[in-house]
Amino acid sequence: MHQDIVMTRFAAPIAEQIWDMKYRMKAADGAPIDQTVEDSWRRIARALASVEATPGDFEPAFYDALEDFKYLPAGRIVAGAGTGRAVTLFNCFVMGTIPDSMAGIFDALKEAALTMQQGGGIGYDFTTIRPKGAPVTGVAADASGPLSFMDVWDAMCRTIMSAGSRRGAMMATMRCDHPDIEEFIAAKSDPARLRMFNMSVLVTDPFMEAVKADGTWELQFDGRVYHTVQARDLWNRIMRATYDYAEPGVIFIDRINAENNLSYVEEIAATNPCGEQPLPPYGACLLGSVNLARLVDRPFGAGAQIPDAALDDLVATAIRMMDNVVDASRFPLEAQAQEAQAKRRIGLGVTGLADALAMVGLRYGSEDGAAQTGRWMQAIANASYRASALLAKEKGTFPLYDAAAYAKAPMVTRLDQEVQALIAENGLRNALLTSIAPTGTISLFAGNVSSGIEPIFANSYTRKVLQPDGTRTEEEVVDYAVAMWRDLKGDAPLPDHFVTAQELAPLEHVRMQAAAQPWIDSSISKTINVPADIDFQSFKDVYLEAYETGCKGCTTYRPNDVTGSVLSVSESESKDEGARASEAASGEVVYMSEPLDRPASLEGHTYKLKWPDSEHALYITINDIVLNGHRRPFEVFINSKNMEHFAWTVALTRMISAVFRRGGDVSFVVEELKAVFDPRGGAWMQGKYVPSILAAIGGVIERHLISIGFIEGEGMGLKSDPQAEVVNLGQRPGPACPHCGQYDMRMVEGCLTCGSCGYSKCG
């Protein structure tokens, strides 16, 4: 496997940095325990072999799979296995069915909080809560509806984050026939609402048939029809919201349940936050990826290929390692442990697919590229089920295995005959085995291989690295396959089959997802990048094509003023200073190296904030400055008769005003304030739970920023940086990375991922 290529353990500086920041075992004082990445691989191999009857027989094989990033367990396993810490090795969970009662709803909220406290992302189906306006027996009141309780979940997630836990992710789903589905669809049009959630509509086959026939569609709950709408109108609402706000996503739920190997014992109504794992109540994500880019023999040469034996052997070892995680991991809730043990569900996927295609001379998105993708996925599926059948012979089947029912699963019938025979003879150790997950951070760790099933994002890009003296230096980050091409071919131009995400037509993305889907028994997390100027009908056609070609879901990303731009990358040499100056003249330079001077007079607004436990109100004045015709906040004053507030309000006023006067992105001020948790408890204000008085102040500032044209969470400029580039207001840079502050966030496999530091919203 290209031993002739001399490469260090870390193929790029960013890979070593990510290992050190996220995956290297360290003592409580920060002193490294893992001295090298080999120590990390050894730690993981030893931990996962420890559940075997004879650990010493398996640890070397596990180490060999991990070595040189051939097999990549999910980040939580890499960071937590063998550390002795009381952590879960599962990335995310779908929570229990929410009862339609106040007590049941808040019991579910408690379970969600306990799970998120340990860092797990969660998925919930809110279809089970009665619609807004429905009668509530015994209290002479009407129901507030599922969206009101989603606001509570949103506040819970903020509170958990402010208490010091890692950033959590949540997925909310709702069936397309729920009476509140229209409110659900429109929820993200309010930029201040439900920001902790990804949202997806559960679309059924009858609904899609009604859309095609332009028929009517009943919105119902518990047997009662509340409204009747035109199916096509409702579909257009979903599409318009997604076109404008990138949400909600679409999940073809009937297809998921029809294809589910366990349809005889479970019904699925929700997914994990990134969508690659449709799960039953209390189901958990156990993920890992085969790095195809590391398996190509004779890359870029005649006869370049992935050897069948090498792929089969690696998959077999990976399946055994993942099965062992079920026994080695802790779980936030006992119900989650029981569900995992009963079904032993795992999700082996791939990363480096686009790089591997480039290495064997195929263009991502082409018919030939899709066909090869299908063949690789088929080989992985057969190898996975074969390995699980042999594990069942050795260790026993998963407890809920029913031979007759399982044999009828569509996925099983597609497997090679010899694999089906092996399953019939031995059963299976794991109910489901394949899933393609987001691998943004773990792919950077592996040397910036292409992520998951996604195309190469950019052949290269520049990231800014913070140095110990506070300055920033620029560092080129090169795609793994591009770097290998340069090592082998020198300055020879890249061949035409190298293609990046920005060069692909939307339907080429769909083609690749559809090619892999028949061999993925769970689902696939993939983002279909569409151009900003795509017309609405063509945009809708992407979703119809995904449905018609057998995909289980569809997620798109269209850059616009609301969503921000995906990082744009120029393949040409840097422009000279004259060109930069010319560009600057055509747009507004929003970076300011020095604080602005205060004009003699400013326009602003004063807001009254009455905190329930305080005798006196707070008065918050926010003054704005106008630059090149655009308003931006300049200073804040907070006043109150309550002298207990005096010291901290003065300090807060000065700090926020200082930030505002530096210019650039100030949206993080809102995020930080709204995440502050008061251990004495928060308060309900205007129907929403606010965790502290500082969070309430953050809400006031947020509303003001929205009212003057700042889209919440997305600033109009760059953070203070001596090497910041010109940004034209016509192209919003999108959100800054919450970890490093760089404008290098990309939508990859449905997850915002930072190309500079590797931060991922999905963990």
Q: How far is CA 397 from CA 44, 309, 392, 757, in A?
A: 25, 26, 5, 42
**Positive or negative, the Cα torsion across 275, 280, 284, 287?**
negative
**What is the band of 530 on the pLDDT scale with cuts at 50, 70, 90?**
very high
Report the amino acid identity of residue 384.
Answer: S
- Using alpha carbons, select from 701, 728, 734, 699 the residue that is nearest to residue 633: 701
Q: Give the contacts of 183 (CB within 8 A, at least 6 positions apart).
A: 132, 145, 147
**What is the band of 494 on the pLDDT scale with cuts at 50, 70, 90?**
very high
- Using alpha carbons, select from 757, 662, 752 the residue that is nearest to residue 713: 752
Q: How far is CA 625 from CA 602, 604, 702, in A?
A: 6, 9, 17
Given a contact cutoff of 8 angstroms between Cβ atoms, the answer to whether 269 and 125 are in contact is yes
- Using alpha carbons, select from 91, 149, 157 the residue that is nearest to residue 125: 149
**310 φ/ψ sector (left φ>0, alpha ψ -120 to 50, else beta):** alpha
Q: Which residue has the higher pLDDT, 366 or 85?
A: 366
Question: What is the per-residue pLDDT for 684?
Answer: 78
Q: What's the CA angle centered on 286, arms 283 and 292, to 5 degrees?
A: 145
The gap from C-alpha 278 to its chain's centroid, in whole angstroms, comes to 14
- Distance CA(305)–CA(321), nearest Å, equals 26
58 pLDDT more than 90: yes
**What is the band of 751 on the pLDDT scale with cuts at 50, 70, 90?**
low
- Cα torsion for 368, 374, 379, 385, to the nearest 10°? 180
Beta-sheet pairing, 249-252 with 197-203: parallel
518 pLDDT more than 60: yes
Question: What is the per-residue pLDDT for 742?
Answer: 61
**What is the band of 141 on the pLDDT scale with cuts at 50, 70, 90?**
confident
pLDDT single digits (tens) 401-444: 999 999 999 999 999 999 999 999 999 999 999 999 988 889 99
pLDDT single digits (tens) 457-468: 999 988 776 666
pLDDT single digits (tens) 577-629: 333 333 333 333 333 434 566 777 788 888 888 887 677 788 899 988 876 66
Average pLDDT over every residue of 482-511: 94
Provide the token pair at 155: 């506040």
- Using alpha carbons, select from 451, 454, 411 the residue that is nearest to residue 432: 411
Provide the token pair at 566: 């995906």
Question: What is the per-residue pLDDT for 629?
Answer: 60
**What is the band of 714 on the pLDDT scale with cuts at 50, 70, 90?**
very low
- Distance CA(751)–CA(738), nearest Å, equals 14
- Distance CA(328)–CA(322), nearest Å, equals 10
Q: What's the CA angle centered on 323, arms 320 and 324, to 5 degrees?
A: 90
Q: Give the contacts of 654 (CB within 8 A, at least 6 positions apart).
A: none
**What is the band of 218 on the pLDDT scale with cuts at 50, 70, 90?**
very high
Question: What is the per-residue pLDDT for 35?
Answer: 94
**Positive or negative, the Cα torsion across 210, 211, 216, 219?**
positive
| Strand residue runs (E) in 569-717 | 603-609, 618-627, 630-640, 683-685, 688-690
Provide the token pair at 546: 């995904």
Provide the token pair at 520: 């993925």
Q: Give the contacts of 323 (CB within 8 A, at least 6 positions apart).
A: 344, 346, 388, 391, 395, 429, 430
Residue found by looking up tokens 């792919």 in the block: 443
Q: Give the contacts of 332 (CB within 8 A, at least 6 positions apart).
A: 88, 93, 114, 115, 117, 118, 120
Across the chain, what does the average pLDDT equal? 86
pLDDT single digits (tens) 359-369: 999 999 999 99
Q: Give the contacts of 585 (CB within 8 A, at least 6 positions apart).
A: none
477 pLDDT more than 70: yes
Average pLDDT over every residue of 529-537: 94
Q: Give the contacts of 556 (CB within 8 A, at least 6 positions apart).
A: 242, 246, 506, 527, 528, 529, 530, 539, 542, 543
Provide the token pair at 187: 């929820």
Question: What is the per-residue pLDDT for 588?
Answer: 34
- Distance CA(522)–CA(277), nearest Å, equals 6
122 pLDDT more than 80: yes
Sequential DSSP letters for 680-707: T--EEETTEEES-HHHHHHHHHHHHHHH
What pTM was estimated for this model as a whole?
0.79
Point out the residues that are catalytic.
272, 274, 276
**Domains of the chain with CATH codes:** 1-19+284-526 (3.20.70.20), 92-270 (3.20.70.20), 603-730 (no CATH)
- Using alpha carbons, select from 533, 578, 524, 532 the residue that is nearest to residue 555: 524
Given a contact cutoff of 8 angstroms between Cβ atoms, the answer to whether 158 and 111 are in contact is no
Average pLDDT over every residue of 628-657: 82
Distance between start and end Cα atoms, the chain:
30
**What is the band of 167 on the pLDDT scale with cuts at 50, 70, 90?**
low
- Distance CA(377)–CA(369), nearest Å, equals 12
Q: Which of 145-173 are b and which e, b meaning 16 or more Cβ less than 10 Å from the residue's Cβ?
A: bbbebbbbbbbbbbbbbbeebebbbbbbb
Q: Which residue has the higher pLDDT, 158 or 496?
A: 496
Given a contact cutoff of 8 angstroms between Cβ atoms, the answer to whether 639 and 619 are in contact is yes
Question: What is the per-residue pLDDT for 648?
Answer: 84
Question: What is the per-residue pLDDT for 563?
Answer: 65
The gap from C-alpha 689 to its chain's centroid, in whole angstroms, comes to 26
294: helix, strand or coil: helix
- Distance CA(525)–CA(438), nearest Å, equals 6
Q: Give the contacts of 52 (CB within 8 A, at least 6 positions apart).
A: 58, 324
Question: What is the per-residue pLDDT for 179?
Answer: 98
| Strand residue runs (E) in 417-566 | 460-466, 472-478, 528-529, 553-554, 556-557
Helix orientation angle between 367-395 and 506-516, rounded to the nearest 10 degrees? 30
Average pLDDT over every residue of 680-708: 82
- Distance CA(559)–CA(529), nearest Å, equals 9
**What is the band of 224 on the pLDDT scale with cuts at 50, 70, 90?**
very high
The backbone torsions φ and ψ at residue 229, rounded to the nearest 5 degrees and listed phi first, read -130, 170
Given a contact cutoff of 8 angstroms between Cβ atoms, the answer to whether 644 and 661 are in contact is no
- Using alpha carbons, select from 719, 748, 751, 749 the residue that is nearest to residue 733: 719
Given a contact cutoff of 8 angstroms between Cβ atoms, the answer to whether 706 and 174 are in contact is no
